[in-house]
Chain A
């Protein structure tokens, strides 16, 4: 049988979700996809997260080029279909290429609605619809500090929050008397407005925009009530309109959208349509969930299993704005006599819950401030099950034994929907896990598509997985920093960069549990210091005691003092000072360490600043997750085998990096020949002198793990060797997980990737890495010098030892 050619116009979420369903049922189609945008299929819903700095663009791609290749799909990126000839069954592209089809699927989505006002073409005016718009806004807002968002709907608010995160002052102007008027009632609108304003976004309601005013760029917005708002940037988010132009030209039946029947067929039975461009039973959907329902129907019809019909979707909306929980679904309006409203309002806590009951069943809900019941209500609406006797506790379900425990979701019936977007039930997820031996959330996502829409149900999917797999459950590779701040380090770096958070407590308050622990507090301190290049607000209480008193705590509560001896080289004068200090403060032990330097052990906390002042030396940071030292051999200065000046180079390397904090300690070594006397090949960074050059080695270790270092590169000059070491050092600083030694970092990231990002990177990228390093190094001070003269806190090194006759007050109760 001749393979049939299926042409898909549109490469968005609808088209691809539908295509996925079709190929699942019948892989024999020959498929061509035409995409006006020059990108692979990405998750449009997540553009808000990209704007807000919570996700990178790479993270929102759904399918890679490889996916298309593996499925045998011909992908035409950046090619717009201009014409359909329904009689000849052909489509023609903007480049006048014509393709035949047997079946045609239109998934042309929608276009942003731009109100007919003057000035929309000015520089600084944006819509917020696709990847290009997002990139444009991100670029432009770097130099803008005031923006106005026209439209207080879902997208407008998400855009506003994103701009705010980028450091831009935002005003949202809205035509109607309440925000999100499509999803909220009057009370809900008031709750939301308060929450939005609390974030620092200005909200103006009943504002009818007259024109956008300015020269080449936008300068002001004028309103019908004669008010004016000065601004440098405008984002128009006034809703969307189905993109029907192509269908109209082809003579298909079009009202507001492309008209389809319950089998998703257009007025031409070989042409189908799905997604936002569609009008079904006089309804147009601008949300993601219906796409998947429609996709399944098209897939069944197309593959000859015509039967299941599309009967419309229950609309559910979730606002994806960090810090606000909002959910709205179904028919939430009241005022009609046969509808009953059950509601709860807590103004102080910003919690609003409303359920609308019609003929004994839940038909709509609004949840603000606490959306944990969203799925429960949605389920009731879908099933149309009568509320019955449970009505008196409808708003507050009996809480599970342990909130959020896996048993909670496991107690639900198998038919319960878990992923509302894609329509996957609990039972389907459980059998997918059992049948395929799935162990990670991403594996479940890849197999069932559950949680690949808006992503809200990812937590439930994980709970199910945990319950089914038990001990075999595997955390995602992309681990979060800590349970207190459940974000991966890379994401925290972006959050700090984009939102200009400067203290550990700020991050814990906004993105964490507010308290933190002994793991994440020092970790966040490090990340803040590293990202902001020393311009953070140092919070000593978030640092480990060693970093509060610049010495290493010992098992008996005393401390050890290790002065810096660059390259392991010292002098008679230095040794004399150390000896004097050891005598004067009765230091119980002086020990030569494994790092070619001296350790004064058993020092009392209160003696630390005095010892530092007497020594007049630099801290060796032997107590910190930081640059430790550079060991060296004697090299060409004295050694008869030496081929390179290892002492001079070692001292130089240590001087370039000393005082910098790192994800985990960094030990280095420089040796003058491959005999490797200073053990450079088991150091985090090592330079090994060879005849006529240096080998730069990385990721060695002789600690908990013994690992021989990998060769990063071989170079001719000492300058090149030092540069390579510095490039790797800074790359590790920025990309290493907290407490991850280089010997774990390199296998995780891959040596080739590291080479590509460091020694093989473009000159501009190299310079950027080195510049950031230089800037951080310039901020380094010797804490022993600074804090022996002026402690951070008067009691930094002191205890409270009360005199015998301490003031006491006796009270009889």
Chain B
């Protein structure tokens, strides 16, 4: 068991009802650009830029605990930030909590998940032709 000694710094980002169900919103705070998702039973925050070609993950389609990047359809897991299909890569995951009707993010505690499972290999699955 690890004992946390660091300070937590929670910043209020938005009222909980301002993110539509199963959608994401871009959150900009100083140097940080995050994608914050309403998964129905919880909120999740990751870096907004897809590891592939920096597509805005906040604009992706949410399915279960993952988001599909709107540019080339990489699938990014929102629990550990790892690419689940498309290719290899990962984004930082940020702690999120809900209190007083607001969503709070600890921007300083963003981290790359260490035990990143091996992503599925191969090309983007079912990539959607965009035009």
Give Cα distance in the complex from A388 to B79, angstroms: 45
Give Cα distance in the complex from A484 to B61, angstroms: 15
- Do residues B61 and A521 form an inter-chain contact, with CB atoms below 8 A? yes
Q: A793-B20, A813-B4 are in contact. Are A799 and B128 (CB under 8 A)?
A: no
> Which among B36, B62, B126, B131 is the interface contact of A800 at CB below 8 angstroms?
B36
A811 close to chain B: CB less than 8 A: yes
Question: Nearest-CB distance from B9 to chain A (Å)?
Answer: 5
> Which among B22, B27, B131 is the interface contact of A799 at CB below 8 angstroms?
B27
A572 close to chain B: CB less than 8 A: no
- Do residues A541 and B129 form an inter-chain contact, with CB atoms below 8 A? no
Give Cα distance in the complex from A608 to B32, angstroms: 24
- Do residues A553 and B13 form an inter-chain contact, with CB atoms below 8 A? no
Question: Which of chain A's residues have a CB closer than 8 A to the CB of B23?
Answer: 540-541, 548
- Do residues A800 and B20 form an inter-chain contact, with CB atoms below 8 A? no
Count residues on chain B whose CB falls below 8 Å from chain A CBs: 45
- Do residues A806 and B11 form an inter-chain contact, with CB atoms below 8 A? yes
Question: Which of chain A's residues have a CB closer than 8 A to the CB of B25?
Answer: 795, 798-800
CB closest residue in chain A, given B5: A813
A659 close to chain B: CB less than 8 A: no
- Do residues B14 and A809 form an inter-chain contact, with CB atoms below 8 A? no
- Do residues B29 and A806 form an inter-chain contact, with CB atoms below 8 A? yes
Give Cα distance in the complex from A546 to B61, angstroms: 11
Q: A540-B23, A541-B23, A553-B71 are in contact. Are A813 and B128 (CB under 8 A)?
A: no
CB closest residue in chain B, given A545: B59
Question: Nearest-CB distance from A740 to chain B (Å)?
Answer: 11
- Do residues B28 and A517 form an inter-chain contact, with CB atoms below 8 A? no
- Do residues B13 and A800 form an inter-chain contact, with CB atoms below 8 A? yes
B101 close to chain A: CB less than 8 A: no
Q: A555-B53, A801-B28 are in contact. Are A808 and B20 (CB under 8 A)?
A: no
Q: For chain A, give the interface size range.
A: 35 or more
A335 close to chain B: CB less than 8 A: no
CB closest residue in chain B, given A792: B20
Per the 8 Å Cβ criterion, residues 34-78 of B in contact with A are 36, 53, 55-56, 58-64, 68, 70-71, 73, 75
> Which among A518, A799, A800 is the interface contact of B60 at CB below 8 angstroms?
A518
Give Cα distance in the complex from A516 to B8, angstroms: 35
Question: Nearest-CB distance from A283 to chain B (Å)?
Answer: 50
CB closest residue in chain B, given A505: B22
Per the 8 Å Cβ criterion, residues 85-129 of B in contact with A are 104, 126, 128-129
> Which among A519, A540, A808 is the interface contact of B126 at CB below 8 angstroms?
A519
- Do residues A517 and B53 form an inter-chain contact, with CB atoms below 8 A? no
- Do residues A482 and B126 form an inter-chain contact, with CB atoms below 8 A? yes
Give Cα distance in the complex from A374 to B21, angstroms: 39
- Do residues A812 and B7 form an inter-chain contact, with CB atoms below 8 A? yes
Question: Which of chain B's residues have a CB closer than 8 A to the CB of A622?
Answer: 131
Question: Which of chain A's residues have a CB closer than 8 A to the CB of B1?
Answer: none
- Do residues B63 and A517 form an inter-chain contact, with CB atoms below 8 A? yes
Question: Which of chain A's residues have a CB closer than 8 A to the CB of B6?
Answer: 813
Give Cα distance in the complex from A806 to B104, angstroms: 11
Give Cα distance in the complex from A482 to B68, angstroms: 15
Give Cα distance in the complex from A542 to B63, angstroms: 9
B residues within 8 Å of A by Cβ?
4-14, 18-23, 25-30, 36, 53, 55-56, 58-64, 68, 70-71, 73, 75, 104, 126, 128-131
User: Beyond the given A515-B64, A541-B62, A544-B128, could you list 8 further A-B residue pairs with CB under 8 A, ordered by the A residue number?
Assistant: A519-B128, A548-B23, A553-B59, A798-B25, A799-B58, A800-B18, A802-B11, A810-B9
28 contacts between A and B (CB under 8 A): A482-B126, A516-B63, A517-B68, A518-B61, A540-B23, A541-B61, A545-B61, A545-B70, A546-B130, A548-B59, A552-B130, A552-B131, A553-B56, A553-B59, A555-B71, A665-B131, A795-B18, A795-B25, A799-B27, A799-B28, A799-B58, A800-B25, A800-B27, A802-B28, A806-B11, A806-B29, A809-B10, A813-B8
Q: Which 7 A-B pairs give the minimum distances between C-beta atoms?
A: A515-B64, A518-B68, A541-B22, A799-B26, A545-B59, A557-B56, A802-B29
